[in-house]
Amino acid sequence: ALYNSSARESTFHLEQRLQLSVIMAYVWLGLAVILQSLLTPVKLCEIPEGHTRLIRSLNLKLLRSTVDNSGEPNPSIYIGLRLSEDHSLEREADYLKKLKTSLETITACSKTNNQEQPSTGILALYLTALKASCEDMEKPERMRLITRLKHQLHKEKKQIIEKNHPLTNYFQYSLGLIALCIHGKKVDEKVIQKLINVEKKDGFVHGETLSVDTEAMAGLAFLCLKSSDLYLPALTAEMNLAIDNVKQKIIKSKRQRVPLGTFTAHRLLYSSFLLWEPQKVMKNVQRQSMP
């Protein structure tokens, strides 16, 4: 069974750098108008015309992925397809059916066979894919998914308190916060505070190296949560400070090579850097996307 296998969970952990980041493009679209007004004097920019072939290349890869039946359907692929200006509605509809079937299977199995619950990142991805499909999220079965993600984040928080690290990782933790945020759900302030505290302590590291991917994901989570106007001024002020800290860490990062390999994987960094360094990030995307 997929979610009862630690090996498959490890595979998800490794592949998230290649595939989960596309979700942030969707989040970016949802936040773009808000951020443009909140984060002045930075001006948002369009992707330069000369880079459109990179976008088209990504779209083709995503479309090819929809006919690959060798593994489980990936919700991040569907999100990427919904982002595209060039749509194949038939393929998107077919892939959405596969996603819903997969979702029903894993949630049913985890209930009846005492299997492990889908991870925070998996739940967040499915919820965001459903949002991208204009699914009615007020239906009872969809509301239960949102509640399940809330419970999962509380488990993550508890693990941080007890063992000083989450059940999954801070990348997935941040992704879960974003998924709840774009569904308009208020998150327990203690769950948010835990992520703020880790950011203050420079805890987003891989080994001994700063994880720019996780910094960017956490930064976008703080941006979304703060922009929702659901939280007390004191917590909002802390999120503002965390956003500034993340921004500076990303800008000051001296890493010359991001070992992600595809344009898709750069969507997260692209979304974050676009606030502050639009020309730099497009040059980086182009360089890293070349064979």
Q: Calculate the average pLDDT of the chain.
A: 74
When pLDDT is cut at 50, 70 and 90, the band that residue 65 belongs to is confident
Give residue 229's pLDDT. Answer: 92
- Domain borders along the chain are 2-185+192-289
172 is in an annotated binding site: yes
Check the annotation: does 170 bind a ligand.
yes
Q: What is the enclosing helix (H) or strand (E) of 205?
A: strand 205-206
pLDDT-based confidence at 217, cuts 50/70/90? confident
pLDDT surpassing 50 at residue 220:
yes
d(C-alpha 140, C-alpha 162), whole Å: 33
Quick: pLDDT tens for 35-62.
333 343 444 445 556 566 766 777 777 7
- The pLDDT assigned to 206 comes to 80
Is 263 annotated to bind a ligand? Reply is: no
Instruction: Answer yes or no: CATH 1.50.10.20 is held by domain 2-185+192-289.
Output: yes
Known binding residue 231? Answer is no
Q: How far apart are CA 48 and CA 230, in angstroms?
A: 35
Task: Out of 72-76, 93-97, 160-164, 243-247, pick the least confident.
Answer: 72-76
The annotation status of 168 as a binding-site residue, yes or no, is yes
Q: From CA 24, how far away is CA 204, in angstroms rounded?
A: 18
Smallest CA-to-CA distance from 288 within 255, 260, 252, 250 is with 260
Q: Are 195 and 173 in contact (CB under 8 A)?
A: yes
* Mean pLDDT (whole number) for 143-154: 95
4 or 171: which carries more pLDDT confidence? 171
Position with higher pLDDT, 282 vs 202: 202
Q: How confident is the model at residue 146 (pLDDT cuts 50, 70, 90)?
A: very high
Find out whether 68 is annotated in a ligand binding site.
no
Burial of 223 (0-12, 13-18, 19+ CB in 10 A): buried
pTM attached to this predicted model: 0.74
| Predicted confidence (pLDDT) per residue in 157-174, tens digit | 999 999 999 999 999 999
